[in-house]
Structure formats: structure tokens, C-alpha cells
């Protein structure tokens, strides 16, 4: 064989080796990203609230799931998300029923005692240290636990004072706040599309809340309004009794106002939790997030405990148990579904919470929404669907 032939053969062999090595390296990097819990911002966003309306678990893909065909894995993910929305909506219904008997703090303590116990058991079974080993990761897990606790508290207050559908719809404005906070803290783009979605979300929330400076007062549902000022210039005070009033700077707010403010604060703190989860990234397992949320929520609610009730009947305890179980199941299925479902499509499935809340509101509480509330809900759902589709289309 001539020297030219030998040189040409060596050149081809070297090129094939380089190509094979590159392909193998890309395959290994892809698998490594999955094993480290790499997830899109979409998946983390709808995992940030701790109430299914959400939790902050960082998804970790298990090897057994990756062996499934893509179509079956995605179908399983979408089914899991659908089950999670049913669990979350059912849990919110039990919360509203339990709020007629127990204080908000007692409901939250009962829920997070259950969740914290199961999280510890999960850490033990999976060999996960309850505390994040990374110092920086531990800081952000604590921040997420704190803002997530505030989100849960304010969400449960809104469920006490608002119709189930209204509270759920206002809470679902958190993608708007998430986009704003991510632009400020993470430097993500906030282009004309995001700004347009923000405007639509604000209009939808306005139709749901119906402030009296834009809408005439109606008998049902009560509008957002300020009652006449009182002589008491004390700071805000929320009473868990039949009065359910708040006094801020001498102004007395009606129960619906408390619920609307609480739902908006829940959406904002949920968005803050989402950003903190993204910063923490794969340095923390989702059980670390759930345990942090549980411990901090219990401590905050014990500091602000509003009274302990021990009914003689079994029914109230059944409500607390059903609430704890359904919300925990909803979180687990949500986390698992977002691991398997395509990015963006999982976001679209999460909007099922809205129409389920309307359904349960009518069936359980006889809460019939008016036309403006339905229109506002459709606008807010459209924003979530549009943002989810945009993300899915960008990742195709």
C-alpha cells in the first residue's frame, strides 16, 4: 500500500474516532443533566408554591422513567399532572370546608405536620440528608421555605374569605409576577409578549376582583371596597370569628377585600419562591424543599397561632386528614408529571385547576360565578396557556 493511501486511511480513522467520541460525550452530558435534576424554568415555576397551586421541588429524573418510550413517558407525565390538579383542587375544597371550623393557623400546622413527617420518611428511605450540604444552596432552600410559607398562609386566608374559584383565579396570576421577578433578579428578557401577557393578566384580575371605583356594587359577589373609617387607628388585625374584619390606619376592610389582598400576596410570594428555586437549582432535592417549607410553616403559624379547636365530632378531623392527604398527593403527582411531560405542555395542563375550582365551587359551596368573573378567569388562563405554548414551541 502506498504512503498516500496509508495517510488517507489514518485520516479517515481519526475523523471517525473523533466523531464517535463527540457523540458519546454528548450522550453522557445529556444523561448527566437529567441525573442532576436539570429542569426547565417552566417545570420549576409550577412547582414553587407548596400548594400545588403549587411546590418547589427540583425535578430529578429517575433512570426507570428514561427507559420508557418518549410518547409513553410524555403521556404518563400529562396523566400525572391531571391527577395532581384534581388533588390540589380537592385539597383546596377541604381547606375551605375546614376553615368554617378551624383557624387558618391550625389548618396549616396540621397540613405541614403531615407533609413534614412524610418528607422525613422519604429522605430516610432515599438516603437523602435532610439539610442541603451546600451552604449557598441551604440559604436559598431556607428563603424558599420562608416565602413559600407566606404564600401558603395568604392563600389559605383567601380561601376563607373568597369563593373558591375567585381565590384560585387570582392565585393563578403568579406567572405574571414570576416573569417580572425573573427579569429583575435573574436578568431574563421581558419583551413585548411578556408585557402584553402582563396587561391581559391585570385586566383579568380586575374583572374578578371588581373594585368599586370601576364597577357598581352588586349583591353577589360583594365588590372590593373600603368601609367607613373608624376611630381605631391600630395596625392591621385579622379576626378569625364571625366578624372577619381588618383594621388598617382607621379603615375597616370587608372580608372580600381581605381575601383579594391575601390571594394577590399569595401569587407574589409564590413567584418569589419560584425564583429562589431556580437559583437553588439542582443543589437541593425536592424533599429538601418540602421539608424546609414544612418546618418553617409550622414555626410561623405557631408564633401566630389563632386558637386551638378540638371538636367532639369525627367529621372535622376527617376534613383535616383529607386535606393533608389530597394536597400531598397533588404535590407528588405534580412533581412527577413535570419530570416526564414536555416543557410548556405541562404548564397548559396546570390550568385545569381553574375550571375544577369553578366546578367544586358550584357543587360544594353553591358559589355561582357571574359573567365578569368567568371572563376574567378565561383571560388569566389564556396568559398561562400562551406563556406555556411559547416555552414549548421554543424548546421543540
pLDDT of residue 164: 93
Structural domain includes residue 76: yes
Residue 94 lies in a domain: yes
pLDDT of residue 37: 39
Matching residue, cell 414536555: 342
More confident residue, 387 or 360: 360
Contact by Cβ (8 Å): 288, 130:
yes
Q: What percent of the chain has pLDDT over 70?
A: 68
b/e 73-107 (16+ beta carbons within 10 angstroms → b): bbebbbebbbbbbbbbbbbbbbbbbbbebbbbbbb
pLDDT score recorded for residue 112:
93
Is 121's pLDDT higher than 70? yes
The C-alpha atoms of residue 252 and residue 318 are separated, in whole angstroms, by 35
Look at residue 155 in the predicted model and tell me its pLDDT. Answer: 93
Q: What is the pLDDT, as a whole number, of residue 276?
A: 80
Report the pLDDT value the prediction gives residue 45, as an integer from 0 to 100: 42
Residue with more model confidence, 158 or 9: 158
Pick from 73, 67, 60, 68: which is nearest to 34 by CA? 60
Rounded-to-integer distance, Cα 84 and Cα 334, Å: 5
Answer yes or no: is 148 within a domain: yes
| Range in 6-15, 148-157, 205-214, 314-323 the model is least confident about | 6-15
Structural domain of 51: 41-394
Structural domain includes residue 18? no
Q: Is 50 part of a structural domain of the chain?
A: yes
pLDDT over threshold 50, residue 35: no
Say whether pLDDT at 82 is over 80: yes
How far apart (Å, rounded) are the C-alpha atoms in residues 201 and 195? Answer: 10
Residue 88 lies in a domain: yes
> What confidence score (pLDDT) does residue 150 get?
93
User: What is the band of 28 on the pLDDT scale with cuts at 50, 70, 90?
Assistant: very low
Whether 174 and 270 have beta carbons less than 8 Å apart is answered as yes
Helical segments of 36-69, H only: 41-45, 63-66
Confidence at residue 131, expressed as pLDDT on a 0 to 100 scale: 82
Q: How far apart are CA 102 and CA 109, in angstroms?
A: 11
pLDDT at position 396, please? 65
Q: How many domains does the chain have?
A: 1
Q: Is residue 282, in this structure, part of any structural domain at all? A: yes
User: 347 pLDDT band (50/70/90 cuts)?
Assistant: low
Confirm whether 20 is domain-assigned: no
Confidence class of residue 215 from pLDDT cuts 50, 70 and 90?
confident
Compute the average pLDDT of residues 93-98. 94
The pLDDT value given to residue 326: 93
Q: How confident is the model at residue 71 (pLDDT cuts 50, 70, 90)?
A: low
Q: How far is CA 173 from CA 9, 66, 262, in A?
A: 63, 33, 13
Amino acid at each position: 500500500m502506498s504512503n498516500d493511501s496509508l495517510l488517507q486511511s489514518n485520516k479517515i480513522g481519526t475523523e471517525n474516532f473523533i466523531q464517535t467520541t463527540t457523540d458519546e460525550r454528548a450522550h453522557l452530558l445529556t444523561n448527566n443533566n437529567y441525573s442532576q435534576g436539570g429542569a426547565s424554568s417552566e417545570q420549576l415555576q409550577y412547582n414553587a408554591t407548596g400548594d400545588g397551586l403549587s411546590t418547589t421541588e427540583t425535578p430529578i429524573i429517575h433512570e426507570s422513567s428514561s427507559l420508557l418510550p418518549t410518547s409513553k413517558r410524555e403521556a404518563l407525565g400529562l396523566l400525572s399532572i391531571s391527577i395532581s390538579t384534581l388533588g390540589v383542587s380537592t385539597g383546596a375544597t377541604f381547606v375551605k370546608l375546614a376553615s368554617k371550623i378551624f383557624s387558618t393557623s391550625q389548618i396549616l400546622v396540621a397540613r405541614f405536620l403531615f407533609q413534614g413527617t412524610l418528607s422525613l420518611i422519604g429522605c430516610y428511605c432515599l438516603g437523602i440528608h435532610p439539610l442541603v450540604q451546600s451552604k449557598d444552596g441551604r440559604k436559598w432552600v431556607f428563603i424558599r421555605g420562608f416565602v413559600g410559607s407566606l404564600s401558603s398562609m395568604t392563600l389559605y386566608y383567601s380561601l376563607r374569605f373568597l369563593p373558591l374559584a375567585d381565590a384560585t383565579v387570582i392565585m393563578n396570576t403568579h406567572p405574571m409576577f414570576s416573569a417580572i421577578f425573573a427579569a429583575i433578579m435573574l436578568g431574563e428578557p421581558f419583551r413585548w409578549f411578556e408585557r402584553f401577557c402582563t396587561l391581559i393578566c391585570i385586566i383579568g384580575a380586575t374583572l374578578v376582583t371588581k373594585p368599586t371605583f370601576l364597577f357598581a356594587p352588586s349583591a353577589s359577589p360583594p365588590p372590593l371596597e373600603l368601609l367607613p373609617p373608624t376611630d381605631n387607628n391600630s395596625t392591621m388585625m385579622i379576626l378569625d370569628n364571625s366578624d372577619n374584619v381588618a383594621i388598617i390606619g382607621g379603615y375597616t376592610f370587608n372580608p372580600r377585600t381581605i381575601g383579594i389582598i391575601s390571594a394577590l400576596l399569595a401569587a407574589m410570594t409564590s413567584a418569589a419562591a419560584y425564583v429562589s428555586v431556580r437559583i437553588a437549582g439542582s443543589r437541593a432535592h425536592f424533599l429538601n424543599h418540602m421539608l424546609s417549607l414544612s418546618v418553617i410553616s409550622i414555626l410561623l403559624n405557631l408564633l401566630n397561632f389563632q386558637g386551638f379547636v378540638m371538636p367532639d365530632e369525627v367529621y372535622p378531623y376527617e376534613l383535616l386528614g383529607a386535606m393533608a392527604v389530597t394536597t400531598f398527593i397533588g404535590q407528588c403527582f405534580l412533581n412527577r408529571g413535570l419530570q416526564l411531560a414536555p416543557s410548556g405542555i405541562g404548564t397548559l395542563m396546570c390550568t385545569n385547576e381553574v375550571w375544577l375550582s369553578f366546578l367544586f365551587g358550584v357543587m360544594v359551596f353553591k358559589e355561582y360565578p357571574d359573567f365578569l368573573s368567568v371572563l376574567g378567569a378565561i383571560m388569566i388562563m389564556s396568559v398561562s396557556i400562551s406563556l406555556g405554548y411559547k416555552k414549548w414551541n421554543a424548546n421543540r
